[in-house]
Amino acid sequence: MNFNEPDLAAALAEGLAQTDVSVSAKAQNIAWEECVSDARLHFFETDGFNGRGTSWRELADRQSEYIGLYVNSFGMPHTFDPGLDPARIGPLDEDQWVVRLERLERGLDNSIYTFEELSTAHAERDLVALDRFADDWNAVRDARPAFSTFLREVQDEISRPDWPELLRDRLGLAQHQPTGKPIPVALMAYSVREVLAEAGSGIPFTIPTVLDSVLWEHYFPAPKEIPFGRAMALTPCESDENLVAEILHSRVSYKGRHISALGKIVTPLPALPVATLREQHLLALQIASGRDNFGA
């Protein structure tokens, strides 16, 4: 993503020059992004939603401000706005299944159930109870893009007893790092058709870009030759065949039946340096896309 505005370009250059990977990785994510449309980039560069300077910190703040205003939003996020020419995915077979790992604390805070009570209801397939939970949870969920993948991509992981951690690690969800207490999670599963049915006028499936979530080290943009995003795993990426498709879709109002499994993330993140993960992921992307110069 090349900024046309000189101050933003200067701020990005400052970020790229940093040796601290927590900065340089985020700057690389901006620099290497290829799926943001001109229209969206123009908006990001020119809209007066925040003050702007030439430092990296100001650029990072501008990006998070943008996410709060236009992506993690109440109305249609820019991610799916046809007027901004998003990086569309598809057409997709409507009967295939999409899965998403959701952490549950916020849903549980707003529900009448504890995790154990919900698990019992799930084990008994008490759909009235599960629907109650889903309704209360939906009430606090907004329209932000949902990072997810296709069921077939993670079939092996979800069939194992430690699926919560396996899925976290495979999908690169480093924010699910437990401290003292385990993190309750749900595997949500629903069809493409259900996403389309609720989507209305937007473009409901898109490739994740650096403008779809706050900047962080575990995101990695995909070359435009690849039809999906590719999640950067928390475990070593030994081959391009290990890359998992990562997609964004518009909001689905959950039903009890969408709760495919419940579990807890107990173990900490694999202790691998982010820089190593990024190097391996970049190599895999270059191979997968046939572009040695991607990210160079």
Partner 1 sequence: MSTSPNGALAKHGWLDVFLAEPLSELTRLLAGRAEVYPYTRAEPVDAARMLFGDLDPEDPARTTLSGAILDWLRKARSAPLSINPAVQQNQIRQVVNAFEIVGALDLLAAAEQLRREYIRWRTWVDTLVIGPSRDGRAAYLRMLAATQIPLAQRFANPDGLMPMWIRLCVEAGASLPDNYLQIGLVGLRKLPVALRRGDTPWLAGLSEWALAHDPSDADFMRVWRPLKRLYPSSHAVLRKQVYSLLSQATYRRANIVPPGWWGADPDFPKAQGRGTISFEPPPKEVRESILESIELERPFSLIKPRVDQLIESHRLYATRSGESDYLVRTFSNVGYKLIEHGRDARIERAQQAQMLARETLNHKPFDVIAWSLWRDSLVALGHYEAARDLAWEIVRRFPNNSLVRNLLAELLAAGGEMSKALRVVGQTVEEGIADAVTYLVMARIEAACTNFEEAKIAAKKGLELDPMNPALMAETERLNQRKLPGVDVWHYKIPDVKGELHADPGQDEVLRNGRLRALRDQLVSDEDARSELHRILNEDPTFAYAQILAARHRLWQAEDESLPPVAAAFEIALTEQDRGRLVELAKRAPRLIALIHLARALFGDEESAEYIARLLSEEDEGRLLEGEKIIKFRLAPVLQGVEEGEDPVKAIIAQRMRVLNTLYDANEALAAQEFLAA
Q: Quick check: 231 binds partner 1 (CB under 8 A)?
A: no
Residue 238 to residues 15, 83, 174, 234: CA-CA distances in angstroms?
Answer: 28, 39, 19, 12
Residues in the chain: 296
List the x/- string, 142-171, binding to partner 1 by CB under 8 A. xx----------------------------
Stretch of 174-182, 195-203, 225-233, 236-244 contacting partner 1, by CB under 8 A: 174-182
Q: Tokens 């070359």 map to which residue?
A: 223
Q: CA-to-CA distance for 79 and 45, rounded, in angstroms?
A: 16
Check if the beta carbon of residue 80 is closer than 8 Å to that of residue 250: yes
CA atoms within 13 A on the CB side of 133: 27
Q: Are 51 and 121 in contact (CB under 8 A)?
A: no
Single out the segment in contact with partner 1 by CB under 8 A; choices: 2-10, 138-146, 186-194, 195-203: 138-146
The stretch among 110-118, 225-233, 235-243, 287-295 that binds partner 1 (CB under 8 A) is 110-118
Q: How many residues touch partner 1 (CB under 8 A)?
A: 52
Report the site for partner 1 in 33-52 (rule: CB under 8 A): 49
Tokens of residue 258, six digits: 């969408």
Do residues 208 and 147 make contact, with C-beta atoms less than 8 angstroms apart?
Answer: yes
CA distance 136 to 118: 13
Q: Which residues contact 159 (CB under 8 A, 6 or more apart)?
A: none
Regarding 175 and contact with partner 1 (CB under 8 A), the answer is: yes
Q: Does 80 bind partner 1 (CB under 8 A)?
A: no
Cis geometry, peptide bond prior to residue 270 (ω within 30 degrees of 0): no
Nearer to partner 1 among residue 81 and residue 191 (C-beta) = 81
140 near partner 1 (CB under 8 A): yes
* Minimum distance, C-beta of residue 73 to partner 1, in the bound complex (Å): 6
Element containing residue 128 per DSSP (H, E): helix 127-138
Angle at 284 between CA 282 and CA 288, to 5 degrees: 115
* Stretch of 30-38, 133-141, 148-156, 188-196 contacting partner 1, by CB under 8 A: 133-141
- Our CB check for partner 1 shows the closer of 92 and 249 to be 249
> Which span (5-13, 108-116, 225-233, 278-286) binds partner 1, by CB under 8 A?
108-116
Contacting residues toward partner 1, per CB under 8 A: 22, 49, 60-61, 64-65, 67-70, 72-75, 103, 105-106, 109-110, 112-113, 117, 121, 126, 128-129, 131-133, 135-136, 138-143, 174-175, 177-181, 213-218, 268-269
